[in-house]
Amino acid sequence: MFDAHAVALGPHGMLAVNVAMLSIIGWALWRAEQKLSFGSDWIALSMLGVFAIAGRVLLDPIPNVQPVTVIVLLAGIHFGATRSIALATAVALGSNLIMGHGLWSFYQAIGWSAVGIAGALLADRLYVDGRLALPALAGVAAISAFAFDWIVSLSALHSLSADVFLVYLMAGIPYDLLHAVGNVAFVAWLANSLSDIMTRHVAIPTAMVVNDVATNRV
Amino acid sequence: MSELIGLAVLLILLSLVVASSFEEENRLKALSVAWVVFLLLTFSTIATEWARMTAVLVNQEDDPHYGLPDLWDGKQVVCLHFPERNVPAGFDDGRHHIDYDGTDFMTDVEWNETGACIGGFSGFENGWDLLDAAINATGDDFAVTTTSYSFGLMIDSIAGVDPSTMAGEFNGAYWSLYHNGALSMVGIADLELDPDSVVTWRVDTW
């Protein structure tokens, strides 16, 4: 019998395959997005969600480097808090259905939602005159990495006592640092492109429909 | 700690070189790639050094790892406790904690015995193999001499400390073997280990 799947890839080979797959997904989504009509905010959000989930799953071999935090932050800036929370929660659940779902999913959803809310609150400072303020965004993305990781670490309180929690947080600092630097890289390389996509699909407020007909005219 | 400082200095120098080599438009892209690559390449060292710096001692008395650094949880450890008057030079200020690669990263001056614990090992199934690995990890600091008898292997001296030469208010002294805090009923060559065994040697008398 032939065993067509007997090729054993090392960790670097697997990472190369994953990066290639993520590139294909990103390119295909980008091409598909160009054919969308302006203002397709929910479709654009769904596509960003697919890219975020794929990015988190496929970049898993690199510890704590993934694009979700930056995508959610940008969604908060462009789409507002509510939709960034929807995106954050869906990405946490969707990626964890592959990577492992549990109590931590809830804390991840809260953590990324907090990042989205921060993006919405800081939108006026991070998106100025139709352009992203990249240095400021990189700074917020780096801080978001620590904030997200520490919120997720709260889940450890279910099994650890409060007095060792600080030690637990301290032990994770190298991983937080990697998350922060990864976020800066995603901001530097992807933020402007993602921002352009989001800007095209921010829903333009529709005209208010007047339900009551004026009965008196001057 | 010194390795972390060295890496931090290297990162600053790398950042300066990269920042000065690129136009402002591409500077953040270049810097971010340099930082990610640098961190990934040095992550193992950073994580290990950081874990040693932030380690705390296990404080649950019923845990065989009681008093040992928490980064050795789930790992195998060999402790060598010396009599007060026979401590090898450099190990008389408390209990030293030495990682599997020979790095002496923490000393517990509060511990009521002096000597060293060498830990962070995994996968050993036999006591002698673990002891041998621990001794090798520390170079010549804790060289062991043994005598082979029909009933098994006897430890004569550790780090030059030979209990048979000690004098005091006792009839005799010997290196005694403990496994997970309890006196071992078998010799070191016959000792079957757990994945997180703590093997302790101390001098007992009769």
Q: Where are the alpha helices (DSSP H) in A59-212?
A: 68-79, 81-99, 103-121, 123-126, 134-153, 162-171, 173-201
Residue B202 contacts residue B176 (beta carbons within 8 Å): yes
Does ipTM exceed 0.85?
no
- The tens digit of pLDDT for each residue in B76-87 reads 999 999 998 889
In a domain, A3, yes or no: no
The domain locations on chain B are 2-53, 70-205
What's the whole-number average pLDDT of chain B? Answer: 93
In a domain, A91, yes or no: yes
Q: If you write DSSP's letter for every residue of B106-134 in order, what string do you get?
A: EEETTSSSEEEEEEEE-S--BHHHHHHHH
pLDDT number for residue A209: 47
pLDDT number for residue B202: 95
Widest CA span of chain B, in angstroms?
81
Do the Cβ atoms of A164 and B51 come within 8 Å? no
Q: Closest to A185 (Cβ–Cβ): which among B32, B50, B54?
A: B32
Mean pLDDT within B111-128? 95
B12 touches chain A (CB under 8 A): no
- The tens digit of pLDDT for each residue in A57-108 reads 999 999 999 999 999 999 999 999 999 999 999 999 999 999 999 999 999 9
CATH number at residue A57: 1.10.1760.20
For residue A47, how many other CB atoms are within 10 A of its CB?
20
At a CB cut-off of 8 Å and minimum separation 6, what does B42 contact? B7
Which residues form the domain of A82?
A: 11-205
In a domain, A128, yes or no: yes
CA pair distance B3, A178, nearest whole angstrom? 18
Tally of structural domains, chain A? 1
Q: If you write DSSP's letter for every residue of B27-68 in order, what string do you get?
A: HHHHHHHHHHHHHHHHHHHHHHHHHHHT--B---TTSTTTTS
Do the Cβ atoms of B32 and A134 come within 8 Å? no
Q: Among residues 32-91 of chain B, which lie with CB inside 8 Å of chain A?
A: 32-33, 35-36, 39-40, 43, 46-47, 50-51, 54, 56, 70
B31 touches chain A (CB under 8 A): yes
- The residue type found at A124 is D
Q: Closest to A174 (Cβ–Cβ): which among B28, B43, B70?
A: B43
Assign B21 to helix, strand or coil.
helix
Over pLDDT 90: what percentage of chain B? 80
Residues of A in contact with B50 (CB under 8 A): 171, 173-174
Residue A67 contacts residue A193 (beta carbons within 8 Å): no
In a domain, A216, yes or no: no
B4 touches chain A (CB under 8 A): no
In a domain, A117, yes or no: yes
Q: If you classify domain B70-205 with CATH, what class do you get?
A: mainly beta
Q: Closest to B36 (Cβ–Cβ): which among A65, A164, A175?
A: A65
CA pair distance B111, B96, nearest whole angstrom? 10
Closest CA to A148 of A79, A80, A201, A76: A76
A137 touches chain B (CB under 8 A): no
